[in-house]
Chains A and B, each alone.
Chain A
Amino acid sequence: MISNILLYTMIAAVISFALGQKLKAVRWSFSALFLGYVGFQLYGLYGQWGMVETHNIFSLGSINFSLNFGITKLGWFFAFFTTIINIMIWIFSIVKNMNEKEERGINFLWILLAGSNLAIFFSVDWITFFIAWEIMTWTSFFIITPGWKNSFKAANWYFILSMFGAYAMLVGIWWLYATPAIHTLNIASSIALLAKLSITAPGTVGIIIALFVLSFFAKSAVFPFHPWPAEAHAEAPDDFSPYLSGIMIKYGLYGILLFIVPLFIQIMKVNPNIAMVNGIPVYSYILAWFGAITAVLGTYLAIVSNDMKKLAAYSTVSNIGYAVTSMFILSSAGVTGGLFHVVNHAVFKSAIFLSLGAVKFRTHEREMHKLGGLATKMPITFLTFLLGIIAAAGIPPLNGYASKWIIYQALLSGHFPFLTTMIFLASTGAFLYLFRALHSIFLGQLPRKFNNVKEVPFLMQIPMILGILSMLGIGYAPGIVLKPIGLAVKAMGLTPMTVENTLMVGKLSSINTAVVSSTFIGAFFFAFAFYLIGKKRHHVEPLDNYTAGQDPEEFGLTPELYHFALKFYEPVKNIFRPIEEKLNIKNYYRALVRNANSFGATLSEMFKLSGAGSSMIFVLGLVVIILAGWML
């Protein structure tokens, strides 16, 4: 069944490629419909846990390569939710690609990506996982590159870090396999065996975990890999950014949930002499700190960026940070919170990126200070963005707060005061950049060149409206998502949290989301009553404004000049400047690339020596080899 779905995906990709350059609308609608079909099929697969399909590829020597697909609770959950979000995004890109220039073969790659997306979640052995992982990496590279003008550089940030991670994972996989006590490629059994091995050989297990963690962190842009989303998400095509930010960056988290977290849980169960902090292994604690650092760093970088897509990308980084921190708490609430936040983030961040895509679709502008006042022109887009940032900031009654609440529950009940503080700092900082984006794009003065901007076409509004609905829906009744999460958490060997549709029960307190939502509505009506009491309001033009008594026309005031958006948080930047200059990871990476280039250039000069020179290398090399050989 799973293999059939994947096969159909391949076929669909080929069909889309074969449709040719002219039938753009057909192709994109076809692929969106196809994805809908896949979603439907996936829904039907719910409950068939433990089903495994094996396809042998070849065996040579002592290794047998085969593709194994199976349905795990976690995998199904991810597959289903990502597919749903994917459908939303694809509906958006139908219009986008019909109205803008479409790169040849992009749709083909999109479908392949969707297929590898499923394959990642359905693979039950490491080889399959790695294959799906690789395909996902390179297809996304090619989807990112035709984006904006610096897209190649941006895609390289993503690609090199990702490939670095993938190779780390490759070594990890084979290390697992080469360890005599494990010698399996099956994911589930490797977890159990590794946990046992941790008693006798903690060093090996530690290194293997480190290799996998490198890979997952690189993919999910956890510190110190955080620079890539800002580059890649920002430069990617506008309809692909939601996918990158909503789904792609979650693969690393999926990997963590698939492998690292269950492994730690197992180790805690079977290994009595592991070093613990606050009831969790030290490793896990350290990794949780990585998450916290990511959260704060992402927030700071989002605050100081002026590019709207970069801002949203850094926001993604910081949200990933919350999820990572929460997962590595290893408690039931922690894992649930992390997982739930992943879903919520996928929903609201896709909504945010979709609305940004819509803004860009109409204005072709990306730097925030050049925009402004679009709220009245594009109300649906504005509303999507507004609700998106409310959710992102974790403000009730939208979905973001439900997961943040669980994360705080986990952190507080596990007694992690400093982690909590970091997360809270990041979370509060989120208001800064989110509001900044809201203001600079949608509020304030409308530049005159955008006077004729219209709302995006209805087909583009559909996914945004869907986004709004799902944010509201999950916020009102988080139980609909938390129940399947509970299944996945239970499969990891934890007791799932007690949840009902609108009730979440934590250790420190419980919360009824319906109550929260209705409180907000009630309060709004209360305020509205006051509003009605007051005398009727009077509408004036935006530029008819307080100017300290000056006549605007006298000193040539334009909406562009009267829109405060550039260097919005200069004070914050000033506060952090001393630290920022010292700790710029990006510069470090740049230097690395530069050095690699000059290293290569130096080496290649060796091949331009004279004939005597190359003979010299020959002979000297031989002498050195002989001498070294005798030493070894």
Chain B
Amino acid sequence: MKSNYAVLLIAIPLLVAFLQPLFSLINKRLTKWVTFLTIGFNFIYSLKLLNYVMANGAQIAIIGNWKPPFGINLYLSPFSMLFATIIYFVALIVLLVYLIDKPTEVDDRMSIATLLMVMASGAITLTGDIFNMFVFVEILSISTVILISFNNKGISFKGAFRYIVLASLGSSMLLLAIGFIYGSLGTLNLASIAYRFNLLNPVYASVIVFLFMAGIMVEAELFPFNAWVPEAYKGSKSYLNALLSGVVGTTGIYVLFRMFITIFGSGQNHIQVIGSVNFNAVIIVIGVLTTLIGEFSALSQKDIKKILAFSSMAQMGIIAVTIGVANMNSINAGIFHLINHAFSKSLLFIVAFPIINIVGSANIDKWEGLGRKNIFLAIAFAIGSFGLIGIPFFNGFWSKMMIVESVVSAGGWMYLVIGTILLSALVETFYFFRIIFKLFVDKKIESTYSVHIFIYLAILILSIIVIYIGIKPSFLATYIHKAAIDLVDKSHYISTVLGVIK
């Protein structure tokens, strides 16, 4: 069974993380390279697996020869592999910048945290066991907190502390939900939960879904569980924010997708989350509120990190809406948008890093005239924002078109939803254009900071991807199409994991 080796995606980073102290004995900078190479391996291997599952359909990887539902299994499908690949990819690009960032005392420890974080995210996308998921979510939040607090500023600690408080609250909820699930269904395997979830008393099921939602929405940056977002983003380094939004946020939304559509979902054409409550509506309302709050809050900010933080929050809200709408087109659109957001937002965060260093401030008012100093960075920032706003022939355009289409076609009160979302998008467009305008103002900036070639490389790769998806989205469309089908097809998920059910 080839697919069983997929465990390496989790095992190797874990192993390397524990070995990092040894490497740091040789040289602290070495740990960075080790981290980079490990994630590089993960990326390449997951890409291979992605192509494998694209061709051969979903696979499971069994750990310790315990067949599901008794043992722990990994579920390798186009959807999970696609997101694992994207997470590893974004992490890889971010690590490119991390490699050349100026050395600090804590390089080795930071490498461990980064490695664990990326490992946990990848593992969350792959795992087929709910408790396993919980553990990885915990690892994810702990390592994220560590990463944030390494910046050694008051606000980093504040942000980190706020995050860990909320994450603990969330994980308590998550654990309660898992307890309820186990108490009622007697299993922790996702597939068997999916198989039997509709047998539950609807009220009981609703409690579970609510608790689960509260737990995972902390990571997914959805209101009202996202109070940590601005301070944590502000507190950590700009390129690490790319990990926060491109990896943590993406993972959170991934879990929402997987759980609400496949596991808790009804598995019919228009997917409804099982329970006595209209969860689809709840998620849509949460998404809309998040979008509205995120965009309007971003409008009033001057600090680029906070602006981008609020913006990521808002984008997560938009994707949450697509989860709630839950028809085939909206799921396609949501996946597409999640991918686009991961790329564009990472690009923006990474570009912001050298810009902050050149200008010496994260305040956008001080960014005036950057285009004269370094046109490349300015254009890259513009590309990232265009991708995010959805200017035609940049990636975000297509996914936003699809989102609008799917939400509008749902009809009814969705017109209100799309109205609010587009209003927020208008606000977003405004504040991004404001920044871009400032970049190209005619003003002189004095700075001696020279941008490292690796940063350029990272920016270039992401810019090219953003534009390439914009011009030729068809190559991504095949992946998304299969991923969406995988996501929606509940019975296929169950039968793949548990074997054919008599």
Contacts and interface: CB of A to CB of B under 8 A. Distances in A.
Consider the complex of A and B and state whether they touch directly, i.e. have CB atoms less than 8 Å apart.
yes
Interface residues of B, number: 82
Interface string B170-182: 1001000000000
B329 A629 contact: no
A177 B281 contact: no
B375 interface: yes
Interface in A563-616: 596-601, 603-604, 606-609, 611, 613-615
Interface in A131-167: 131, 134-135, 138, 141-142, 145-146, 152, 155-156, 159-160, 163-164, 167
Contact of B301 (A59, A171, A604, A617): A604
Nearest to A152: B437
B398 interface: yes
B430 to A, nearest CB: 6
Contacts, number: 199
Nearest to B331: A61
A59 B478 CA distance: 9
Interface in B443-502: 472-474, 477, 480-481, 484
A46 interface: no
B477 to A, nearest CB: 5
B409 A629 contact: no
Interface string B75-105: 0000000000000000000000000000000
Contacts of A630: 206, 276-277
A606 B430 contact: no
B47 interface: no
Nearest to A138: B391
B478 to A, nearest CB: 9
B425 A167 contact: yes
A102 to B, nearest CB: 11
B332 interface: yes
A603 B473 CA distance: 36
A618 B227 contact: yes
Contacts of A142: 436-437, 440
A602 to B, nearest CB: 8
Interface stretch (A35-43, A258-266, A620-628): A620-628
A45 interface: no
A618 B282 contact: no
Contact of B422 (A103, A167, A628, A629): A167
A141 B433 contact: yes
Nearest to B336: A60
Interface stretch (B5-13, B56-64, B160-168, B339-347): B160-168
Interface string A46-76: 0000000000111111110100000000000
B224 A621 contact: yes
B214 A618 contact: yes
Nearest to A62: B329
Interface residues of A, number: 64
B304 interface: no
Contacts of B244: none
Contacts of B426: 160, 163-164, 167
Contacts of A277: none
B360 interface: no
Contact of A59 (B170, B213, B392, B477): B477
B230 interface: yes
A146 to B, nearest CB: 8
B279 A618 contact: no
Contacts of A415: none
Interface string B402-436: 10111011010001001100110111011001101
B297 A600 contact: yes
Given A596-B427, A600-B297, A617 B401 contact: no
A598 B418 CA distance: 23
A178 B409 contact: yes
B329 A61 contact: yes
Contacts of A609: 227
Contacts of B43: none
B207 to A, nearest CB: 9
Nearest to B277: A629
A600 B300 contact: yes
A416 interface: no
Contacts of A361: none
Contact of A171 (B218, B402, B404, B437): B404
A614 B166 contact: yes
Contact of B224 (A56, A65, A622): A622
A152 B391 CA distance: 19
Given A63-B329, A618-B225, A135 B392 contact: yes
Nearest to B286: A625
Interface string A166-181: 0100110011011000
A60 B437 contact: no
A600 B298 contact: yes
A332 to B, nearest CB: 36
B281 A632 contact: yes
Contact of A625 (B162, B282, B398): B282
Contacts of B442: 103, 146
Interface string A111-141: 0000000000000000100110011001001
A615 B409 contact: no
Interface in B212-270: 213-214, 218, 223-225, 227-231
Contact of A604 (B161, B173, B310): B310
B405 A629 contact: no
B293 A622 contact: no
B461 to A, nearest CB: 21
A629 B418 CA distance: 20
A135 B277 CA distance: 43
B131 interface: no
A596 B398 contact: no
A104 interface: yes
B210 interface: yes
A622 B477 contact: no
A53 to B, nearest CB: 18
A624 B169 CA distance: 17
Nearest to B330: A61
B433 A159 contact: yes
B350 to A, nearest CB: 23
Contacts of A167: 422-423, 425-426
Contacts of A159: 429-430, 433
A146 B372 CA distance: 14
Given A607-B297, A618-B224, A621-B225, A134 B282 contact: no
B135 interface: no
Nearest to B299: A600
Given A58-B473, A65-B398, A617 B224 contact: yes
B227 A622 contact: no
Contact of B231 (A156, A164, A607, A617): A607
A57 B328 CA distance: 20
Contact of B299 (A146, A597, A608): A597
A170 B223 contact: no
Interface in A195-252: none
A600 B296 contact: yes
B162 A611 contact: yes
A629 B169 CA distance: 21
B277 A632 contact: yes
The 7 closest A-B pairs by CB, nearest first: A621-B224, A614-B227, A604-B297, A58-B474, A600-B296, A178-B409, A600-B300
13 contacts: A57-B473, A61-B402, A145-B437, A159-B433, A171-B408, A177-B409, A604-B300, A606-B297, A609-B227, A617-B224, A618-B166, A625-B224, A630-B277
Given A103-B440, A596-B299, 18 more contacts: A57-B473, A61-B402, A160-B426, A170-B422, A171-B404, A174-B404, A175-B408, A597-B300, A604-B296, A604-B298, A607-B231, A613-B227, A618-B224, A618-B227, A626-B210, A626-B277, A629-B206, A630-B206
Interface of A: 56-63, 65, 103-104, 127, 130-131, 134-135, 138, 141-142, 145-146, 152, 155-156, 159-160, 163-164, 167, 170-171, 174-175, 177-178, 596-601, 603-604, 606-609, 611, 613-615, 617-622, 624-626, 628-630, 632
